Amino acid sequence: PLHRVGAWCLSSLVEGRYSTSTSSSNDSGGGSSGSSGGGGTSSTRKHPPPEEIDVLKLLPTLRRLLHMEDAEVLTFTCWTLSHLCDGPSYHIAAVIYSDGTPNQSQSRRKMSPANGLVPRLVELLLHPSPKVAKPALRTIGNIVCADCTDQQQPQDANGNA
């Protein structure tokens, strides 16, 4: 039960921050997960600036949640990853390559797609529940369809640091 609440919280915190498909729309219908029931529409919900999400600190937790058996935990975790991969290219790179180690210098040594979260997302495409398979597919789709034109800048900054 606590894992479900935690996974839901992470998904809710990231949802809508980077969405480009309806960024100029003020319609209140169309969130991927249920409405938050806070009395306002999703367009009036206040989020901290996107820069405040430290994806490298989130990844170890998301990795652990992504390997649980509970379908609801998997669903919310996949939606969180989908929302993150709808954001800046360095979030996508972190999901693809990061081994989940919070220490960045250690993480650079082990950066490989085999260590990232994509292999687990591919496994979840075959999950018996479509509530898990759909956000896993959406995450992979966000990775594949991302605008890669600005990916070189964060990689250069990491390589030179």
Q: What is the pLDDT of residues 111-132, one digit of tens each?
A: 677 789 999 999 999 999 999 9
Q: Which is more confident, 48 or 151?
A: 48
Chain centroid, CA 14 distance in Å: 8
In sequence order, which residues have a C-beta less than 8 Å from that of residue 90 and are 6 or more positions away?
A: 55, 151, 154
Joined together, the tokens standing for residue 68 give 């649980």
Phi-psi region of 39 (alpha: psi -120 to 50; beta: other; left: phi over 0): left
Least-confidence region, from 2-6, 34-38, 40-44, 114-118? 34-38
Q: Which is more confident, 68 or 47?
A: 68
Stretch 71-75: mean pLDDT: 97
In angstroms and rounded to an integer, the radius of gyration of the C-alpha atoms of the chain is 16
Q: Do residues 132 and 77 lie in contact, with contact meaning Cβ atoms separated by under 8 Å? A: no
